[in-house]
Amino acid sequence: VQSSLIESGWISSWLPSWCPTSLSQLKDAEDKMLKCKSHVQISNVNHFWTLPSLQPQLRPPLVLLHGFGGGAGLWAENLDSLCGSGVMNALNLLWFGQSSRTLFSVDPQGAEEQFLGALEEWRDRVGLEEIVLLGHNLGGYLAAAYTLTHPHRVKHLILVEPWGFPAYPESLDQEKSIPVWIRAMGAVMSPFKPLAGLRLAGPLGSIYTHTHTASTCTI
């Protein structure tokens, strides 16, 4: 029903101008910004889009993991300086940029293991024995978790504003301590993707994103 409404009437003429985003526009933008990006197949169904540098490998390569809502392009202002120290790889995590939209487990631990398993498959496919891992935001959380899981693969770990997550309540008593209004808001928002509100904000969302990334992602 929703798709038929969007495809007809005034909604179809208004929505593209208010929310000027699409997969084709994403591809065009990445093609312009990241001309040397490559596609790395990590399984029969999943792939990472990767931005490799072309420097000679004299030391363990630097691998960049972006934050939530970002992608390899988020490092655009840092790439030249980071590449100067040796080999560098920036990649789009699963479900970000043009990487695969794989089906994740609803169990938090299972979803984390899928992220880490995909990252380990990527490392093996591109032939990196040991890496320097830099993670920002959600990427910081995953970088730390990967290091704990594969400590022999990480020479150095660098965290920039890393995320952390509290343990899921083990009992109903702990869950009841969460304010009712927060639980109600969570129930209302659960059918929507996390960044749906930002997209619906149209040009205002773009302004917020530019301001936020400019203040947090130049390191």
pLDDT confidence tier of residue 8, bands split at 50, 70 and 90: very low
Element (H, E) at 4: helix 2-6
pTM above 0.95, yes or no: no
Q: What are phi and psi of 51, to 5 degrees?
A: -110, 100
Calpha distance 160→139 (Å, rounded) = 9
pLDDT confidence tier of residue 83, bands split at 50, 70 and 90: confident
Name the H helices within 75-195. Answer: 79-83, 108-126, 138-149, 172-176, 180-189
pLDDT confidence tier of residue 6, bands split at 50, 70 and 90: very low
pLDDT of 168 higher than 60: yes
Q: Say if CB 132 and CB 161 are below 8 A apart.
A: no
At position 123, the amino acid (one-letter code) is R
Residue 205 bridge partners (DSSP): none
Calpha distance 71→191 (Å, rounded) = 24
Q: In what order do the strands lie in the sheet with 47-52?
A: 38-41, 47-52, 88-91, 62-65, 131-136, 154-160
More confident residue, 117 or 180: 117
